[in-house]
Amino acid sequence: MSAFQKCINPQCGAEYEVSEVIFKCPKCGDLLDAQYNWDKIKVPGKLAKFGKRWASRNEPMNLSGVWRFREMLNFCDDQYKVTIGEGQTILQSNDEVGKYAGMKAGRLFLQYEGLNPSGSFKDNGMTAAFSHARMVGAKASACASTGNTSASVALYAHSCGLKCTVFIGSGRIAFGKLSQSMDYGAQTIQIQGDFDDCMRQVQDVCSKLGLYLLNSLNPFRLEGQKTIMYRIIEGLGWEVPDWIIVPGGNLGNSSAFGKAFYELKQLGLIKRIPRMAIINATGAWTLTDLVNNKKLVWNGGNVDNKIISDYYDDLTAKNFSPHTCASAIEISRPVNLKKCLRALDVCNGVVRAVSDADICDAKAIIGKYGLGCEPASAASVAGLKLLRAEGIIGDDERVACVLTGHALKDPNVTVNYHKEKQGAFSNPPVEVPNNLDEIIKLIHSAG
């Protein structure tokens, strides 16, 4: 076999077949990776070769922005692959948003993952995970979610005939996302608790009932998310940017991105690895606090588990529940924490937290000059502005911000920001009598 699963803990390093449905190392409980015997895979000698597949995009495996890079996630035969045209996303150069964040012209790029079929980056992961689910003969699936995972799981499950149950925190997810999971036919269970409570429950439910788990604990899901980085490189004419900036929640994306770059470098497909900035919201800043204040590091895989367990014990003692208007990243016990530490190590990364006010301002600017995004996604641009102010990122470095979800996912935050004039870029609607003269006067007064 060219692929296998491997425990990320170097002290353990246990290996398992890809056909095993385990999600955590049965020996030591740590996270698992999908790994490859690269000498058994015909990886193209140049990344540009993947781009040539566009020419035959009438074939579903070439149309998919994930499976177009199939040799890089070679764990499953074509017969099991599920695709609904995910990954048709664009990398947009955006000088106006760049100017807002303090960048020179031509240096900021926005990777629009909201253009996926379910409106978020999750589809990159689900096409891969559902393919694995079909490969192992799963009949029913489940996930915990702050909203986008549930929308994506529901869409893929009904596309390939699996049953699906999604767990969401009561009152914690945006309406666009809730509407999707109901509309796509998922059994939607609202738990009286937050995402972290849902995450705990879904793991127990999956192991008790034998449901296939689709959270980012699932290593095959993260294999699909690697392709977001390949497409950024593709968008830059097969060149690597200086920085990748990504919002951090459950830390699946950042983990996948680090793995993507590590593998590309190992295979000689890129010469250097970009730096990565992971951005939390201040109301859900576990990663920032652990890395910047508690000095938690990957340390060659010998992570100081006590720092983490003490931190979580403290959260429990305080009965802490995270709060941010960026509900997608309202998470205080990120399951991929250790993989993320590894990614920070690989990418010489930094971690920051930004306020809800800064997130909403950045979101309004992205909406005004770009294609729009949901609040969590805008954390990336707010984070760039902060890192520019700190001088960590130079104004002529080439930066790609990942915009993880579509603007229509969370209409409430957007409407409130504008109607209630919450920020400097609020653009509220203006009431006018039903009278032509009054309407014309109003339009003139706006200049």
In the complex, the residues that contact ligand F0G under the rule CB under 6 A are: 120, 145-149, 216, 247-253, 328-329, 374, 376-377, 404-405
What is the token pair recorded at 217?
Answer: 């604990």
352, 383 Cβ separation under 8 angstroms = yes
Location of structure tokens 């859900």: 284
Q: Which residues are registered as beta bridge partners of 91?
A: 111
C-beta of 296 vs 328, nearer to ligand F0G: 328
258, 342 Cβ separation under 8 angstroms = yes
Q: Which residues are registered as beta bridge partners of 145?
A: 168
Three-state DSSP class for residue 405: strand
Give the N- to C-terminal CA distance of the chain in Å, as an integer.
67
Can you state the angle between helices 148-160 and 175-183, rounded to 10 degrees? 20
Interstrand relation of 275-281 and 243-247 (parallel, antiparallel or unpaired): parallel
Q: What is the dihedral of CA 264, 22, 160, 260, to 10 degrees?
A: -10
Across 28-103, the runs of DSSP E, i.e. the strands, are: 32-36, 90-93
Question: Closest by alpha carbon to 330, among 339, 319, 318, 320?
Answer: 320
The Cα–Cα gap between 313 and 68 comes to 44
Q: Which residues are registered as beta bridge partners of 401?
A: 110, 245
Question: What residues contact 337, with CB distance under 8 A and at least 6 apart?
Answer: 251, 286, 287, 290, 308
